[in-house]
A and B are shown apart, each in its own frame.
Chain A
Amino acid sequence: MPDLIEAGDGVYEMDVRGYSCPYPEVFTRNAIDSLEPGDVLKITLDNRPSTETVPAAVEEVGNRVLGVESRGSREWVIEVESR
């Protein structure tokens, strides 16, 4: 199972590579629950559909998506701010 890593200054990272739908979404919802408002979470993933479903899930519960960035052709990093 992925861990939430505190990178410092209210920035957290989570690596969910290897998980297909719906797990990146499930882990992200769960991770956000343990963050303080204003904290930032960077999620690394390799399941393409999650680049759409994770931002949608994050926004659904009132958080902000700061960006979805591709790293090469097979990985993405989604940056989210907890509200």
Chain B
Amino acid sequence: MGKRVELTLSEDVERFADRFSLGRDNGRGSQHFLRVKVPRGSLSSDKFRDIARMAEEYGRNGYAEVTNRQSIQLHWIEGGDAMDIFRRLDEMGLSTDKCGQSYPGTRYGDVRNVVVCPAAGLDAEEKVDVEGIAGEINDFFIGNRDFLDMPRKFKISITGCGIGCTKPHIQDLGLYPVEREGGVGFGALIGGSTGQSLPGPAIAKPLGAFIPKDRVFDVTRAAVEIHRDNSNRESKARSRFKWLVREWGVQRVRETIEAKIGGTLPDLDVVPEVADEEHPGIGEQKDGRNYLTVPLIGGVMYSDLMRGIASVAERYGGGEVRTTTHQNLLIPNVPTSEVGGAKEELSRIGVPLDRRPYQWTAMGCPSDFCGKTVASSSKKDLVRATHALESRFGDRLDDLDLKLYISGCVNDCCLASIAHLGLKGRGSGDSQRYDLLLGGGLTGEPELSERVAEAIAPSEIEDVIGALVQECVDSGYDDFGIFFEDRGPRELEAAASSALGREESS
């Protein structure tokens, strides 16, 4: 062994290596993205403004995105600026995802930002406030060296609301509230994911156990440990928790959790009745005040808008801004007497609250940055699709429940696999094409969507979506999911083929 020469690194590097990293971009001239974890989806308006400033100073044109895991993502980040950025985030008490994605092997998986109901602690209808538990889980895992080298990432969500806004069915561990005699606790769904890794997109399975509030942390930790210690370390394609759940079966996972927490859990056969809804518009809080959900399209915002929203939060609310699970923002604690003023101000800065139901939930991924699409991007195609729907149907969409999700590739970050109407990219670079998926949804009987047309060009989106929605609303449906159930995939495949001017496949 040769002589050691110590690097003259600042102490910060050692501290930061466990809690901060940059992700790899490969499009629009961006080398790196910065994905700021927003714990519990909640930021003070000051911190929200600071992130806007960072988007200007280190990104381009103040561009930022809200992700569907409630993080805020910046692009065009230079590696040379990373330490300055990390120092600033550290001072703000924030961190980033670890982005171990780039490693070719089954290593460096972390616990991703825990997805939490954005109306937690506020919503008049919520069954249990999860802010405290979510904070405890997040604090435990962020930068925890024992959980930074798992076979792959681990995704957790927790909600106390009755509308499953946190999409528990597509998490590695999705916790939802259950009311029982003797108090409210949680049920858990395990082994969900929309990504392509084996066994492919999967709806999480019920653990079948009632988890009292005071055992939620222990159960969560046990589940993550099971993944860390037992998920596949040989094959990246098989290294997500969903594969282990399939291999072991739910019962073995449950028994292992119970052994780890030192006690059996009561049986439970309650599953979420409703899921994947947004808290739209103005919501009533339990303290009589209101929260306002601010709609963004595809989570896109610029620093000016961010500053405007921070000001509204300060002037009319309590100076807090939250990120939602459908790429929107939420301003809590607005007194009823101030709602009118806040609404007016939000309209003035370009984010009026009078949106149609499908616009609150519509999502698109940043495919142009990650380089999976070149000619178009999922966010642009989402804008294209919503414009087309607006000009063709307008008010007729007021009562339609339509989950429209667009992902640029099979990794499906924006959940086309559970959409009523989803587009999933085929990752073919210049000639971007999407598969059309229909009929997914998490409410009632959870279903993955089914492919009804292949290789649709961005320019064809308008026609095919238009034709399907036309048939849906003309037939008097107010829920695209039910329309799909009634008509079935073959009939809608034929409708899609005809709208695309293609021969029907036999």
User: A31-55 toward B: CB 8 Å interface, digit per residue (1/0)?
Assistant: 1011000000000001111000100
A65 at interface (Cβ–Cβ under 8 A)?
no
Interface string of B250-294 (1 = CB under 8 A from A): 000000000000000000000000000000000000000000000
Do B79 and A1 touch across chains, with their CB atoms under 8 A apart?
no
Closest A residue to B148 by CB, please name it. Answer: A18
Q: How far apart are A48's CB and chain B's nearest CB, in angstroms?
A: 5
* Residue B13, interface by CB 8 Å: yes
Contact A5 B5 (CB under 8 A): yes
Q: Please count how many residues in chain A sit with their CB below 8 Å of the partner chain's CB atoms.
A: 33
A57 to B413, CA, bound (A): 30
A21 touches B80 (CB 8 A): no
Assess the B3–A6 pair: CB atoms within 8 A: yes
How big is the B interface, by class? 20 to 34
Q: A46 CB to closest chain B CB, in angstroms?
A: 6
Q: Is the CB of B5 within 8 A of A20?
A: no
Q: Which of A18, A20, A27 contacts B9 (CB 8 A)?
A: A27
The residue that A27 contacts in the complex, of B7, B24, B107, with Cβ under 8 A, is: B7
> Which of B7, B21, B31, B79 is within 8 Å of A2, CB to CB?
B7
Residues A18 and B13 in contact, CB atoms below 8 Å apart: no
What residue in chain A is nearest B32 (Cβ atoms)? A21
Scan residues 391-432 of chain B and give those whose CB is less than 8 A from a CB of chain A. Answer: none
Say if the beta carbon of B445 comes within 8 Å of chain A.
no
Q: Given A1-B13, A20-B21 in contact, is the A6-B5 Cβ separation under 8 Å?
A: yes
Question: Is A4's CB under 8 angstroms from B6's CB?
Answer: yes
- Chain B contacts for A49, CB-based, 8 A: 24, 102
Q: How far is the CA of A8 from the CA of B31 in the complex (A)?
A: 35
The one of B5, B14, B105 in contact with A1, judged by C-beta atoms closer than 8 angstroms, is: B14
For A29, the chain B residues whose CB sits under 8 A away are: 80
Do A31 and B7 touch (CB < 8 A)?
yes
Return chain A residues, CB-CB under 8 Å to B14: 1
B107 to chain A, nearest CB (A): 8
With A6-B3, A18-B108, A33-B8: A48-B80 Cβ-Cβ less than 8 Å: no
CB distance A53 to B79 under 8 Å? yes
Interface centre among A13, A20, A57 (most CB of B within 10 A): A20
Residues in A with CB closer than 8 Å to B80 are 25, 29, 57
Nearest-neighbor residue (CB-CB) of A72 within chain B:
B104
A21-B24 in contact given A30-B9, A53-B79 (Cβ < 8 Å)? yes
Check if B7 sits within 8 Å of A1, measured CB to CB.
yes
- Minimum CB–CB distance for A68 against chain B, Å: 15
Between B6, B32, B100, B104, the greatest number of chain A beta carbons within 10 A of the residue's beta carbon is seen for B104
Tell me if B3 and A48 are in contact (CB < 8 A).
no
Nearest opposing residue in chain A for B23, CB measure: A21
Known: A21-B23, A57-B79, A74-B105. A1 touches B2 (CB 8 A): no
A20 pairs with B4, CB closer than 8 A: no
Given A30-B8, A48-B103, A73-B104, do A13 and B2 touch, yes or no (CB 8 Å)?
A: yes
Check: B500 CB closer than 8 A to any chain A CB.
Answer: no
Beta-carbon contact of A21 and B102 below 8 Å: yes
Contact residues of B between 415 and 474, Cβ < 8 Å to A: none
Give the distance to chain A from B36, nearest Cβ to Cβ, in Å: 15
Who on chain B is nearest to A14 by CB?
B7
Q: Would you list which residues of chain B between 1 and 52 have a CB under 8 Å from chain A?
A: 1-9, 13-14, 17, 21-24, 31-32
Q: How far is the CB of B35 from chain A (nearest CB, A)?
A: 12
Interface residues of B (CB under 8 A from A): 1-9, 13-14, 17, 21-24, 31-32, 79-80, 82-83, 98-100, 102-105, 107-108, 149
Q: List 21 A-B contacts (CB under 8 A).
A: A1-B17, A3-B4, A5-B5, A13-B2, A18-B107, A20-B21, A21-B102, A22-B79, A23-B13, A23-B17, A25-B80, A26-B9, A26-B13, A26-B83, A34-B8, A46-B103, A46-B107, A47-B103, A49-B102, A53-B79, A56-B31
CB-CB nearest 3 A-B residue pairs = A49-B24, A22-B82, A22-B79
A residues whose Cβ falls under 8 Å from a Cβ of B: 1-8, 12-13, 18-23, 25-27, 29-31, 33-34, 46-49, 53, 56-57, 73-74
15 additional A-B pairs beyond A5-B4, A21-B79, A26-B82, beta carbons within 8 Å, are: A3-B4, A4-B7, A6-B2, A12-B5, A19-B17, A20-B100, A22-B82, A26-B13, A27-B7, A33-B8, A46-B105, A47-B103, A57-B80, A74-B103, A74-B105
